[in-house]
């Protein structure tokens, strides 16, 4: 494959054409933070921690480095004041969903727990890693997203779970290992439907503890 010349933080490097900025930077030993990127899955760009500035002078713009592909002569800055401020704000918000963000990131970007943000300690940072693994690798579509903005959440679709999960991962949920916050739990908001009631199409997934997938199906009335 052909190579292109790019400049990252003033360092001139050669990278394989078709790489993303994140891949080229990592190959060159340049740190760009991310919480939603995984080498076994296609890039998604949900956490936005990997944003960088590209271009020169007044023509600079901000892009997600995990999605933007390099080209000949591209100039990239990964640690400008604007970028670091973006990352600080993102981390400040995430701290109210997950209380175990890597300390090295909090200290590097000066993130602090601000009282003006409402706590929503679900331990889900909406990175989509579990959803993408279930959909793209396993082809099961047991997990998915519903809602937008502040009400967006990951859900489990009981009918799909009953069909695929017992044979996909009878002892432990494989998607659990893709979750950067540590675990995916079976605890659902609300109560189980009464006998004779139709199950809803999806149940919210709460991050809390690790349980057998069969217990999950039992809680939503499928076993």
Least confident residue range of 10-14, 26-30, 91-95, 193-197: 193-197
The span from the first CA to the last CA of the chain, in angstroms, equals 52
Domains identified in the chain and CATH numbers: 3-109 (3.10.20.740), 129-219 (no CATH)
Residue 25 has pLDDT above 90, yes or no: yes
The CA distance from 216 to 176, in Å, is 13
Classify burial at 59, counting beta carbons within 10 Å of its beta carbon; exposed 0-12, middle 13-18, buried 19 or more: exposed
Average of per-residue pLDDT values in the chain: 80
DSSP class of residue 96 equals: T
Give rounded-to-5 percent helix, strand, coil for the chain. Answer: 30, 15, 55
Contact 53, 62 (CB under 8 A): yes
Q: What is the pLDDT of residues 186-216, one digit of tens each?
A: 333 233 333 433 333 344 443 333 334 444 4
* CA torsion, ordered 66, 28, 41, 55, to nearest 10 deg: 10
pTM here is 0.77
Contact 159, 109 (CB under 8 A): no
Q: What is the pLDDT of residues 133-158, one digit of tens each?
A: 999 999 999 999 988 877 888 888 88
What does DSSP say about strands 51-54 and 153-156: parallel, antiparallel, or unpaired?
unpaired
The CA distance from 76 to 65, in Å, is 9
Rounded to the nearest angstrom, the gap between the alpha carbon of residue 201 and the centroid of all alpha carbons in its chain is: 23
């Amino acid at each position: 494959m052909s190579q292109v010349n790019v400049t990252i933080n003033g360092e001139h490097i050669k990278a394989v054409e078709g790489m993303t900025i994140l891949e080229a930077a990592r190959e060159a030993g340049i740190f760009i933070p991310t919480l939603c990127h995984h080498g076994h899955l296609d890039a998604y760009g949900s956490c936005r921690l990997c944003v960088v500035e590209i271009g020169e002078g007044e023509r600079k713009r901000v892009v997600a480095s995990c999605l933007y592909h390099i080209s000949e002569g591209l100039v990239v800055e990964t640690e400008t004041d604007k970028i670091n401020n973006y990352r600080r704000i993102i981390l400040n918000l995430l701290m109210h969903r997950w209380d175990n963000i890597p300390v090295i990131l909090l200290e590097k970007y000066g993130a602090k727990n601000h009282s003006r943000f409402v706590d929503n300690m679900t331990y889900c940072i909406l990175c989509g890693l579990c959803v993408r693994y279930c959909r793209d690798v396993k082809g099961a579509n047991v997990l998915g997203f519903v809602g937008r903005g502040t009400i967006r959440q990951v859900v489990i679709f009981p009918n799909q779970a009953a069909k695929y999960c017992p044979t996909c991962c009878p002892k432990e949920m494989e998607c659990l290992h893709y979750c950067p916050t540590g675990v995916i739990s079976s605890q659902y908001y609300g109560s189980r439907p009464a006998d004779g009631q139709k199950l809803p199409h999806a149940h919210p997934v709460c991050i809390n503890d690790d349980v057998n997938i069969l217990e999950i199906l039992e809680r939503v009335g499928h076993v």
